[in-house]
Structure 1
């Protein structure tokens, strides 16, 4: 041993550690393998229905949902095999949606990241090193995780999450603002760029900021509660398209709507939260060090990404290969709340901590972590923040 070069000694030691991990430790943390035959999966399906309060209108629908559930068990097993325990996947409330249904119902139509004017971008002013980790969730700047349900309204949740953080950054009490107001009332568009806010069919957080600027304020969640994505449950609303809804950019609106449940009837400007005014908005460039800097300086940030592989995410740092998570095809908007690093015998992985809008039972208590520094899934391509008026 004493005659071996020091570098070779270290390499040999790492190889031995890896072999030890593969032989003894890795099998202990590997996710359980779900049954893939109908007979074994049926009891699991019944248990899953009870856990997530799933009730179907008739036996035919239930049989079709069980087939989807069975196929998703295979998908989850395949994902756990591909990611080898570095990221784990598991059953959740989305397990009765096929991958196509998930994309159509929960995600937005895929789109390229917007290109903003140079004046929109925040200039970096980093003069020293950043802390190794940072998290707004333990500093009363992030509200509880919500569930968008069966609607492509993530963009409104992302925008409102950012505005909530901006309000709290001004020293105001952390407040839940109305996502439904954005979904119902925001018909903003940028025809030249082919971008528009389309209610339950998707939109852009930066256009949502512009809507709040034009509207003059926001109601709270309690005064204008969320109902668009409840999927037929009590309290579901059938909202008509927002004033200004662009059928060319958004596609045809829902075939049936109820005007009494829509913006023109429900919006009450007298209930706008006192003092809350959006005066402008800013964008952050794609450099992830700059994003981390502005996250600390400005507060939680609205971001967008390609989320088609996140349906069954359960735990770990999400690090998919680029060819299965195209960073140019954004279909989901979320809230960036922190960052950090995770050390293992394989080295250190930097990650972003992100608040999702698929409920607190999804992922890591409603959050997920994504590899930081490589532009994974386009997470760095559409980063924005509202600017509030200081009253």
Structure 2
């Protein structure tokens, strides 16, 4: 009986070992297939993304490089959307084959004020008290469709022009799409240097001195630095009387200004989350190293459980970025500078 029992135990152990070996082999095979499926799936996503955005690369080496960047970006986006409890989502947009450094270098060229003494002291909305709980200048006809600056770092021009389009509508009743390219080509004697960056305040100064700005159709956007067209520069579709700066580091004062007109604002848009923002109320991550000019065109309160307050911001990266070209950024944060520094260097044209 003892011998039979020992043999039986040995047989059980052998069977168990075989099951373990077969299980491990099956697991390895399944894991390998999963990894292979993921690779195939990622390449399929890449091919579909390339076709949608019309991407063509100069050679096979560039293609491989861009695919690797795409894979890293998409994996990070997927991980964020799966694991994050933040009130916004990221998306695989037209910038998915760019590193964050490449993206910032071509798009974000706002030149932050070196000295606060250059900012204006007057603020006409200081005593405004009756503020609506929410406001959207798009619904009031003071915002043109979202534009795309392309690979030219002239966000400052788009921000200034959007604010000027707003005040033009409010002062004349006419919504006119105005020319960013005129600023890129002609406003080059000071800090503003076309695709190499500039300031909204300096753009307002140029427009005032030039006695106006041409239309988009009259001086169309090229997305590259060009020679100033003297005839186009002297054709004026709209003008401003000057500009004012919102008191720095005050979201309350910024709210007063935005309640009266679209306002140019500078933000820190250097982060990965900003590059791939897709929807929801953006709450960061971001700092206060201002590098991008955009336009605040409203504000409101989200319908989430906590009622998150937000700024409605028009960007110039095309309508495939964010919420059809817009981003909602958290409002009334603890930092006096506002989220991403939005309250640090805001300004608006006057008419």
Give the alignment's TM-score, normalised by structure 1: 0.74
Name which of structure 1's ranges 108-117 and 83-92 shifts more when overlaid on structure 2. 108-117
In the alignment, structure 1 residue 71 sits paired with structure 2 residue 75: no
| Aligned residue number for residue 252 of structure 2 | 289
CA distance in structure 2 between the partners assigned to 1:81 and 1:124 by the alignment: 44
Among residues 311, 314, 319, which one is paired with 2:275 in the alignment?
311
In the alignment, structure 1 residue 363 sits paired with structure 2 residue 326: no
Helix, strand or coil at the partner of 1:271: coil
Alignment of 1:104-115 (within 5 A): 104-108=105-109, 111=112, 115=116
Helix, strand or coil at the partner of 2:310: strand
Q: Closer, same or farther in 2 for the Cα pair 1:203/1:117, shift >3 Å?
A: closer
Contact 2:120/2:244 (8 A) holds in 1: no
CA distance in structure 1 between the partners assigned to 2:253 and 2:282 by the alignment: 21
Which digits, 9 at most, give the CA deviation of each residue in 1:342-384, with x for residues without a partner? 1333x22100010010101111011010000121110111110
CA distance in structure 2 between the partners assigned to 1:170 and 1:153 by the alignment: 26
How many residue pairs are counted as aligned between the two chains?
Answer: 308
| Aligned residue number for residue 294 of structure 2 | 334
Helix, strand or coil at the partner of 1:282: strand
Helix, strand or coil at the partner of 1:337: strand
In the alignment, structure 1 residue 277 sits paired with structure 2 residue 239: yes
Deviation of the 1:81 alpha carbon: 5.1
Deviation of the 1:268 alpha carbon: 2.5
CA distance in structure 2 between the partners assigned to 1:79 and 1:104 by the alignment: 24
CA distance in structure 2 between the partners assigned to 1:112 and 1:79 by the alignment: 34
Q: Closer, same or farther in 2 for the Cα pair 1:36/1:109, shift >3 Å?
A: farther
Deviation of the 1:212 alpha carbon: 1.0
Which structure has the highest helix share of the two? 2
Give the alignment's TM-score, normalised by structure 2: 0.82
Helix, strand or coil at the partner of 2:176: coil
| Aligned residue number for residue 214 of structure 1 | 209
Q: Which structure has the larger Rg over C-alpha atoms?
A: 2
Alignment of 1:367-378 (within 5 A): 367-374=326-333, 375-378=338-341
CA distance in structure 1 between the partners assigned to 2:209 and 2:119 by the alignment: 20
Q: Which runs of 5+ in 1 are unaligned?
A: 1-34, 190-195, 229-236, 240-260
In the alignment, structure 1 residue 262 sits paired with structure 2 residue 231: no
Contact 2:121/2:245 (8 A) holds in 1: no
CA distance in structure 2 between the partners assigned to 1:114 and 1:79 by the alignment: 38
Contact 1:188/1:208 (8 A) holds in 2: no
Deviation of the 1:47 alpha carbon: 0.3
CA distance in structure 1 between the partners assigned to 2:234 and 2:291 by the alignment: 35
| Aligned residue number for residue 4 of structure 1 | none
CA distance in structure 2 between the partners assigned to 1:89 and 1:54 by the alignment: 21
Alignment of 1:114-193 (within 5 A): 115=116, 116-117=118-119, 119-128=121-130, 130-189=131-190
Q: Closer, same or farther in 2 for the Cα pair 1:110/1:117, shift >3 Å?
A: closer
CA RMSD of aligned residues (A): 2.1
In the alignment, structure 1 residue 344 sits paired with structure 2 residue 304: yes
Helix, strand or coil at the partner of 1:385: strand
Helix, strand or coil at the partner of 2:350: strand
Helix, strand or coil at the partner of 1:336: strand
